[in-house]
């Protein structure tokens, strides 16, 4: 039953993605790198073109028709994102260039003014570099200390260890929702409520969760959530920060310039209202509007449909990968129904370099990633310089997984025969 449903969904959405209708190296493209960036549906591409063909003008400061149109579309995109993550207030959504900029906004605005020597930041060993480095910079500037939650035997977030790290010294918990390497889904509701019990604030890195399942920021009660548009069918150059309004109101501006001010004098300035206080300079107008279109598109497909579909694909992918000898997959195993992890697999095959695998797969039109996936500390824990990663989205099919597995097996056989 589910298999039939799944094929209907795949068939329905696939034609929306023009880039997928091509051959690469003489073979139909099989794109298995959506955790790095997703492809964009026609509706998003049309939105970009329409904006530049009809409405392009600078936002917020003009009284002319095009400026009003651009402003309305830009602010409508904010409403769409707010609704998508169920923010209580529209001004809780701040447009940024990407998730990295959103994390840096919180670091330079909140952490720099609130952390002092001896304060503790809790993070995890599985963070993306974007959720490591800003806190390391803040620790160096403020004298705060970073503590890292490690992994359980199943290579998941160690909740018991986390509990032992929490104390009244903990001021901030910065944790990824879904790991882009392990694929584990962290228990953010529990993590957040335990942090709040000791008075700490929590930032959730939603880069790999927001594109794949419905997120309710009020329900999980995070203080901040960040995501990148380009991993959720929108263009590059746009992402967002969600923050609780009371917190954002207390936070000083991150960058200074136009848009973020109320009044400017020779002696100084007064800051503007939320959300503009954090959006200095001309924003990525077209990209934000296109992010709104991406959110419309994802909502029309249905986030629950996407999650259910990706669970099916996960179960199938892991069943197939299990047939390959000497292949180590990082992170937890999915259930037979594909639950309990994200639709991606980072792996290493004994004796074969991940980059050699991805190069040979590319010859067959199959795009997988190899490297450290911006999680070097995690790879060091595994004594691996890198790994190969196949990551899925709702436009991928079982047939693509079949071809991927077949070519992967042939490639491994080839390397093994050469090495003999
Ligand atoms: C991609 C990613 C980031 C960084 O996103 P940018 O778009 O490069 O800012 C951060 N965290 C996770 C988990 C990611 O997957």
Looking at residue 353, what is its pLDDT? 95
Strand pairing partners for 150?
none
Task: Look up residue 367 and give its two tokens.
Answer: 């795009």
Check if 104 has its Cβ closer than 6 Å to any atom of ligand 1.
no
Task: Look up residue 104 and give its two tokens.
Answer: 């840096």
d(CA 67, CA 380): 51
| 3 pLDDT above the threshold of 90 | no
Query: Average per-residue pLDDT in the chain?
Result: 96
171-195 in b/e form (b: 16+ CB < 10 A) is bbbbbbbbbbbbbbbbbbeebbebb
Strand pairing partners for 24?
27
Give the list of residues 6+ apart from residue 179 with CB closer than 8 angstroms, or none.
126, 186, 208, 331, 342, 375
User: What does the pLDDT look like over 33-90, one tens digit per residue?
Assistant: 999 999 999 999 999 999 999 999 999 877 899 999 999 999 999 999 999 999 999 9
Q: Which of 231, 192, 224 is nearest to 209 (CA)?
A: 231
Please name the residue whose Cα sits nearest to atom 5 of ligand 1.
99
Rg (CA), the chain: 22
- As a whole number of Å, the end-to-end CA separation of the chain is 45
Determine the residue of 95, 105, 184, 205 to mutate for testing ligand 1's pocket, defined as the one with the most ligand atoms within 8 A of the Cβ atom.
205
- Name the pTM for this structure: 0.97
Domains parsed from the chain with CATH numbers: 7-31+302-419 (3.90.1150.10), 45-299 (3.40.640.10)
What is the set of active-site residues?
374
Please name the residue whose Cα sits nearest to atom 11 of ligand 1.
128
Tokens 């099916």 sit on residue = 312
Element (H, E) at 157: none
User: What does the pLDDT look like over 323-368, one tens digit per residue?
Assistant: 999 999 999 999 999 999 999 999 999 999 999 999 999 999 999 9
């Amino acid at each position: 039953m589910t298999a039939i449903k799944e094929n209907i969904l795949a068939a329905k959405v696939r034609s929306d993605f023009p880039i997928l209708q091509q051959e690469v190296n003489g073979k139909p493209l099989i794109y298995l790198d959506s955790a790095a960036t997703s492809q964009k549906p026609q509706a998003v591409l049309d939105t970009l073109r329409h904006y530049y063909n009809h409405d392009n003008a600078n936002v917020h400061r003009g009284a002319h028709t095009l400026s009003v149109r651009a402003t309305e579309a830009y602010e409508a995109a904010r409403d769409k994102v707010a609704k998508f993550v169920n923010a209580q207030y529209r001004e809780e959504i701040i447009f940024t260039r990407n998730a990295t900029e959103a994390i840096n906004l919180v670091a330079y605005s909140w952490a720099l003014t609130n952390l002092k020597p001896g304060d503790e930041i809790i993070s995890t060993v599985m963070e993306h570099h974007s959720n490591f480095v800003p806190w390391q910079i803040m620790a160096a500037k403020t004298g705060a200390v970073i503590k890292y939650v490690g992994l359980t035997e199943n290579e998941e977030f160690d909740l018991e260890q986390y509990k032992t790290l929490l104390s009244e010294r903990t001021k901030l918990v910065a944790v990824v929702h879904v790991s882009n390497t392990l694929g584990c889904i962290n228990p953010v509701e529990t993590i957040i409520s335990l942090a709040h019990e000791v008075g700490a604030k929590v930032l959730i890195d939603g880069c790999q969760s927001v594109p794949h399942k419905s997120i309710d920021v009020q329900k999980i009660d995070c203080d901040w959530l960040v995501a990148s548009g380009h991993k959720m069918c929108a263009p590059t150059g746009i992402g967002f920060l969600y923050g609780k309004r009371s917190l954002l109101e207390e936070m000083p501006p991150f960058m200074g310039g136009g848009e973020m001010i109320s009044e400017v004098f020779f002696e100084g300035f007064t800051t503007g209202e939320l959300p503009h206080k954090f959006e200095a300079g001309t924003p990525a107008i077209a990209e934000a509007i296109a992010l709104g279109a991406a959110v419309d598109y994802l909502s029309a497909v249905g986030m629950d449909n996407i999650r259910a579909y990706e669970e099916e694909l996960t179960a199938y992918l892991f069943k197939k990968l299990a047939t390959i000898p000497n292949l180590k997959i990082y992170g937890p195993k999915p259930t037979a129904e594909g639950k309990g992890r994200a639709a991606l697999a980072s792996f290493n095959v004994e004796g074969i370099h991940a980059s050699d695998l991805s190069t040979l797969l590319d010859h067959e039109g199959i795009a997988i990633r190899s490297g450290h996936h911006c999680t070097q500390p995690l790879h060091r824990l595994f004594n691996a310089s890198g790994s190969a990663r196949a990551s899925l989205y709702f436009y991928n099919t079982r047939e693509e997984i079949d071809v991927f597995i077949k070519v992967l097996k042939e490639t491994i056989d080839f390397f093994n025969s050469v090495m003999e």
